[in-house]
Each structure stands twice: as C-alpha cells, then as structure tokens.
Amino acid sequence: MGLFDKIKGELVDIIEWMDDSRSTLAWRFPRYQNEIKNGAQLIVREGQKAVFVYRGALADQFEPGHYELKSENLPILSTLQGWKHGFDSPFRSEVYFINTRPVTDIRWGTPQPVTVRDPDFKMVQVRANGLCVVKIEDVEIFLKEVIGTDSAVEADEITELLRRVISMAFSDMVMETGLGAIDLQGQQVALSGKLREFVEERVDDEFGLAIPDITMNISLPDEITQAMTRGVAKGVEASGFVENVDLNKYQQAQAADAMLAAAENEGGSVMGDMMQMGMGVAMAGQMANQMGGMGQQAPQQAAPAAAPGGAPPPLPGQRMFHVDHGGNAGGPYNMAQMQSGIQGGQVTGQTLVWAEGMAGWAPAQTVPELQAMFSAPPPMPPTSPTPPPVPPTPPTE
C-alpha cells in the first residue's frame, strides 16, 4: 500500500488556493515548470475563480467547485495545445486564482483642494475623502492590464491608482454639476452615486474593475464653516458640517458684524453714528418681518444698541456678551453697550445672553455682572417748572 500511495501521489495533483486574507486580488499557483498531471484535482472555493493561461493567452475559466482536469473540461486549452485525442501527462499551463469578493477598505482623499465657484463665497477650495469598494469584474482585462507576469497582486498595488482616478473624477464631477460649496456639502450623499459612475467608467474597460459603492465626505475651509456658524441659529456646533444653511441669516450676520466694526472705529465718529443708526433701523425692520411671519408667536427681544460717539474697541480682558436676537446670536457687546440696551428696554431680565465661560444661554437678570444694571433705579422724571403765583382776588364791594 505504501508504494501504491506513492505512485498515486506522483500522478495526481491538487490545485487550490487557501487564502486567509481579503487583500490579495490575484495569485498564481506555484508549479515546477508549470507542469500539471492528467487527472489533477482543481478546487475553487467561494469568492474565487480559477483561470488557465497558456503562453500568455487566456484559456479555460472555472467557477467555484471541485473539478478533475481532463481534456473534456479543458476545451480551450485543448485547442491551444492541439490535443486531438486527449492529452498525456503532464501538460504545461499557468493557473491563476482570482479573488472575486469586493475589497471594502480602500481609503481615498483629494491630495490637493478643488476650487469651486460659489455664488455666495465666490471661489472656495474644498476637499473630499471617503471609502471605495472595488472588485474584479472582467478577468481577461485585469489579467492583461494589471497582473501581467506578477505572481500575486495585492490591493495596495491598485489603491494608489484608484486614488488618482477618484481625485480626477471628483474634480470633473464638481465642474459638471456647477453646484456651490454649500450645496455640494448638503448633497454629498446623493452625489456619491454620481461620483461612483464617474470612477467606474474610467476603470471598467481600462482595468477590468467594478466600483460597487463609494462614500464621499466634503469638507469646507474653517473660515467658511465659522462664517456659517455665526449666521445660523445658536446651538449649531462650530466644527460640524452644516446642511440646508439659511444664507439670509448668514448675510445678516455679516452685515451686523461689519456695522459694529465701523461703529467701533475711532477714526470717524460721524460714520460710526451713521452706521449705528443704520444698524438699529435694519434690526428693527428684520424684527418686524419676523414678527409678521410668525403669526401668533411671541415677539423677540432686539439686540442692544452700540455705544454712541464712535467708542474705541473694548479693552483686552473685558467680558463681551452675545444676546438672543430672534433666534440668532447678536453681538458681542461690551458692558457699556449692554447697559445702554437695558436702560433703553431693548434687553429685559428674561432676554437670553451668553458670554465666554458660561455653561449655556441664561436670562440676563441671572448673570451676576448684569444684575446690578437691572436693580439700578430709573432716571428721575423731568421736574415741571414752578407755576406762576395766583393773583389775589379783588375784594367785593
């Protein structure tokens, strides 16, 4: 039995690929001089495909299963080698195992920012990154264009190729859609499918690859994110990605910041007074529009007016307060401006305020620095002039 087993082992080969990783895309079965014996056993597991290559030409392919290699199940190879009446052992052929499972952990990112023409911010540079899922779709193209004469192909070898392709596809997609930066970020989930189409059409016929899925995350410059944060309702995180941004609120916040800066410019008090007056009129108009559109909602508190006379900028270390203005954060305002707003009735004890160091928004009358302003007595009413003396009544006769 020992001699028989030895002879049987020399006549029958087992060709299989025991792959315990998901990163190898193709692997060539090692054979001395590529010799395969008649009746060899071929085992193809799930997620694999076996292909025979003879002198650089693709021959027979095998899906998952267990096969005994004979001339009957090697029709293409039989034709290439001229087997008219079967073949005698051994015969020569290269056997490649192809990984047909998708590779899901390919990360990509734009190496350079992409310039986007934006209707609100003019020219904006955005970046994008995400994950790409790739799998081998056309074995013949992949064999010719990627494998070549390599004994194995790892996912890392095509990762850099895919990154370049995705970056160029992202830039082309942005140009074709014509969307602004904020719209791109707001629709990035829907645009991921469009990006997948752009990428797949560049790698299917060229490299035999398919892109089942791709994710995309678009990031805006910090300056744009901070500007949007100032223009939306309080509670939006400064580091978050903002979707469906109300650009009217952003523009209003920009105008308010610009007017406050001009009002605090010590180089021109007349211009500062005019800007203050314009700011008060604009805020009053905005409040009227908001109150008209809210129906039965309660009126909102107005922001305190800036200190008159073109006051200099606040001293370093002086605490600045933000004031709730119709759901928007107005300010910052210094203590003098807050006192003026309280005395003028623009800021009440229930108006929500916030300053650096506070845990959250709180009514103004609960803030220690502002409590004294609410407890101060109101100004004395103007004294009326002393009435003239009443002339005496003449005596009656």
Displacement of CA 309 from its chain's centroid (Å): 45
Domain residue ranges of the chain, discontinuous segments joined by +: 2-99, 103-220, 247-289+302-311+318-375
User: Which is nearest to 229 in space by CA: 242, 248, 243?
Assistant: 242
- Give 198-234 as a 3 state SS string: HHHHHHHHHHCEEEEEECCEEECCHHHHHHHHHHCCC
By residue count, the chain amounts to: 397
H-helix or E-strand spanning residue 77:
helix 75-81
Residues 6+ apart with CB under 8 A from 53: 59, 93, 94, 95, 96, 143
pLDDT, residue 391, reads 65
- pLDDT band at residue 338 under the 50/70/90 scheme: confident
The 10 Å CB-count burial string (b at 16+, else e) for 247-262 is: eebbebbeebeebbeb
Distance of alpha carbon 322 from alpha carbon 25, whole angstroms: 58
Q: 241 or 325: whose pLDDT is higher?
A: 325
Fold exhibited by the domain 103-220: Tetrahydropterin Synthase; Chain A (3.30.479)
Q: Kindly report whether the global pTM for this prediction surpasses the value 0.75.
A: no
End-to-end Cα separation, the chain, in angstroms: 168
Of 64-78, 228-242, 285-299, which has the strongest mean pLDDT? 64-78
Prior bond of 332 cis (ω within 30°): yes
The tens digit of pLDDT for each residue in 204-247 reads: 999 999 999 999 999 888 887 777 776 553 444 433 434 444 44
pLDDT, residue 6, reads 45
The tens digit of pLDDT for each residue in 245-267 reads: 444 544 554 544 544 444 444 44
Distance of alpha carbon 193 from alpha carbon 189, whole angstroms: 8
pLDDT, residue 382, reads 61
Share of the chain above pLDDT 70, in %: 66
Q: 136 or 240: whose pLDDT is higher?
A: 136
